[in-house]
Amino acid sequence: MPVKDMTERQPTPAVAELTRLIVQEWQHPTERPDQPIVLLDRSAPGGARHVFVVWDRWENLEQLQRSEAIMDAAEAVLGKAESLKVTVAMGLTKEEAKRLNIRFD
C-alpha cells in the first residue's frame, strides 16, 4: 500500500460548488434571482471588510460552513492578502437577512 502525506481537509463537493457559484457571481454579477447576492461592507474600522452573502441555498448549512465557503470565495476573488482583511463572513438566507435588517434588494 502506498504511503502518502495527508492533505488538508477539504470542503465537501456540495460546499465547494456553493463556493464556485459565489466566486462566479462575485466576478461576473448577474440579475438572476437564484444567484447569491454578495454584499461588501468596507466601512469597518481599520480597513477591515465585512462580506455578507444572501442566498437561499444556505438553507440547511451550518453558519460556520457558510462562513468557510465565503472565505474560500473571498480568497479566490480578492487574493490571499486582501481576503485576510475580511473580519466578518456571514451567509444568510433572504429570510434571515430580513430578520437582521440587512438590505439586499
Applying CB under 8 A, among 11, 15, 24, 68 the residue interacting with another protein is 68
Angle (nearest 5°) at CA 72 between 3 and 23: 125
53: DSSP letter: E
Verify binding: residue 48, another protein, rule CB under 8 A: yes
Conformation bin of residue 44: beta by default, left when phi > 0, alpha when psi is -120 to 50: beta
Verify binding: residue 64, another protein, rule CB under 8 A: yes
Verify binding: residue 86, another protein, rule CB under 8 A: yes
Nearer to another protein, 30 or 43 (CB): 43
Nearer to another protein, 25 or 83 (CB): 83
Query: 104 Cβ partners below 8 Å, 6+ apart?
Result: 37, 39, 52, 54, 94, 97
Task: Give the footprint of another protein on this chain (CB under 8 A).
Answer: 44-46, 48, 63-64, 67-68, 70-71, 75, 80, 83-84, 86-91
